[in-house]
Structure 1
Amino acid sequence: MSQPALSKALRLLEQEVGTKLLEPEGRGLRLTPAGQRFKDETAGLLDQWLKVPENLLRSDSEKVPYRLGSFEVFTTYFLSHLLKSVDLGPLELHEYRPGRLEQAIAEGVVDIGITYAPIPKSGVDFTEVTKIKMGIFGLKKFKGLNWSELPFVVPLLPTQGTPSKVQGLDGWPDHEFNRQILYRVTMMESAMELCRQGLCVAYLPEFVVSLHNKALLPDYRLIELESPLSQKERKQSVFLIQRKNNPESTLYRQIAKSLRNLG
């Protein structure tokens, strides 16, 4: 939409609602108090309107399942958080390693992917939607030790082909800080069990540990330990992936919003 057309549309909207919704702020615009109330009051209506095309395509007699793909950090822990705020209906949950996830999206096997280790792939688009806090977590017995003395459990296979220098699937910058690695596992739940038993520590998303600790007795809860990484370095970007040129669906926006709420 051109700028003149947008200005005209906004003037018509203000005439229809009978109040001023926007006011100048520097070289831009901001919502007036009435504009903010209008936004809040119409948010639900806008969401319903945006769902109309999808609802027309999805008949009650033939509901096509949503196909969501990620790796275990998100499929195990983020899914429960997502289901509290989003009615997914029929769902196919695909678990892939980075690289294979992007390929599945390019091939049409998966509709939307979630990752923090994006692998460039022809035919897919990446959108950074939020940043999550990472940290070193283990039992209290490790408190006070220097990070270089800590025994780590790490993903069995590193990721390759990421545009950043992050090499490990857990997001640790192996090119900067060499860890004392005691265990290598395929499944994150195996890593969590080793941590619960006090055998090692792991580099994990803070939201995962928070959800994990809610279900455990105090003796098995994990705490954050000393790290050589700054607060900024511990922020891990999270990306949504979909096929190139696909329009953002309602589900895409809902997943993005739910991810942002993790922070």
Structure 2
Amino acid sequence: MRLDDLAIFVEVARASGLRKAAYTLNMQPGTVSKVIKRIESHYQQALFERKGSQWALTSAGEMLFHRAIEMLSIGDKIERELGSPRRPHLRVSGSESLLAHFVPSLMTKLSQQQLTLETKQSEDLAMLTKHEVDLALVTSLQGTHPQDRQVEYQALQEINFVTVASHTHPMLIEHGAHLSIDQVLEYPFVIPSKPIYGKMATNRSLDGWFDEEFNRRIMARVDTTSMLTSLVKSQPLLAYVPDYLAKEHSLQILEVSGCPYTCEQTVWLCRNKHLSAHWMQVFE
């Protein structure tokens, strides 16, 4: 069985469909279909259950998928030691804010590799455990770490959430940057409509605020950090954001008294414990 055929099989399994895989591979769907049929004929096994455009792995397909990943990883090592290695392609998953903040530094570490990059949005380890990405950026509540025995993890940064405003917010003119929680709650907030900052405690809002105890007046809900920071800068809105985001966008951090709750996270860089390309050794 040719490694190139197995690489196509792996891409179809990851895409859960023929056309999406063909698009990613820059191949004709008919050509990809012929490869899958050739592999199934070779092993005398059905590897996919086909339901319309959705392709799901059979039990035999699942077994071959994991073995193919191993074989492709070994092939990568052989190319490195004996041949001409292919140009590395790095796939990283994470929430929008984590990708935007941490991927540039990851690319700097790999600057000698002349790699290509692909990012995918995910708040957990699902894409990493399915071998859809090489690295995953995830968060956990401070003091905990990712719970997966197949994953190696490395702490990148401790994150504290802060209340922010624009430097021209009317509140700063009236009260300055040191306020009580009651004063803060007089002003409207913009909040995320999905978990753009990663994992939060079950009793917290998507931005980590404890709204059950300190109920805010919500003026806007947005699904990207770029829109959230833009609204904070241009409108009289407050936000509760990771400290790195506040610093990146030069937002005014408020010193808030009278609130005993904080939101703290640890950011982790995760990779598969047993399968990783040679060029990823820089992260060890």
Listed as ranges, the gaps of 5+ residues in structure 1 are 1-52, 214-221, 254-263
Letter aligned with residue 252 of structure 1 = F
Paired residue for 2:221?
A: 184
Instruction: Please state whether the residue corresponding to 1:75 is helix, strand or coil.
Output: helix
> Per-residue CA shift, 1:175-200, capped at 9, x if unaligned?
55433221111111000110110231
Query: Number of residue pairs matched?
Result: 189
Preserved CA contact (<8 Å) 1:71 1:96: yes
Match of residue 80, structure 2, among 47, 50, 56 = 56
Q: Is 1:197 the equivalent of 2:197?
A: no
Which residue of the other structure, out of 137, 153, 178, is the alignment partner of 1:127?
A: 153
Aligned twin of 2:59:
none
| Structure 2 residue runs without a partner (length 5+) | 1-76
* Structure 2 counterpart of 1:239: 268
Scaled by the length of structure 2, what TM-score is found? 0.53
Q: How well do the aligned residues superpose, as a CA RMSD in angstroms?
A: 3.7
CA 193–92 in structure 1, closer or farther in 2 if over 3 Å, else same: same
Partner of 1:67: 91
Q: Deviations over 1:105-147 (max 9, x none)?
A: 1110111111225897867537361312321111132333522
What does 1:1-263 correspond to in 2, within 5 Å? Answer: 56=80, 60-87=84-111, 89-99=114-124, 102-117=125-140, 125=151, 127=153, 129=155, 130-140=157-167, 141=169, 142-143=171-172, 144=175, 146-158=183-195, 164-165=201-202, 167-174=204-211, 176-213=213-250, 222-227=251-256, 233-243=262-272, 249-253=280-284
Identical counterparts, % of pairs: 21
1:137 and 1:252, CA in 2 relative to 1: closer, same or farther beyond 3 A?
same
Q: Deviations over 1:66-109 (max 9, x none)?
A: 2111121122233334444542631333231324xx22111101
Q: 1:188 to 1:206 in 2, by over 3 A?
A: same
CA contact (8 A) 2:109 2:282 kept: no
TM-score, reference length from structure 1: 0.57
Distance 1:191 1:126, change over 3 A: farther
Task: Name the CA shift for 1:237/1:194 in 2 (closer, same or farther; >3 Å).
Answer: same
Deviations 1:174-226 (A, max 9, x none): 4554332211111110001101102312222222222223xxxxxxxx20014
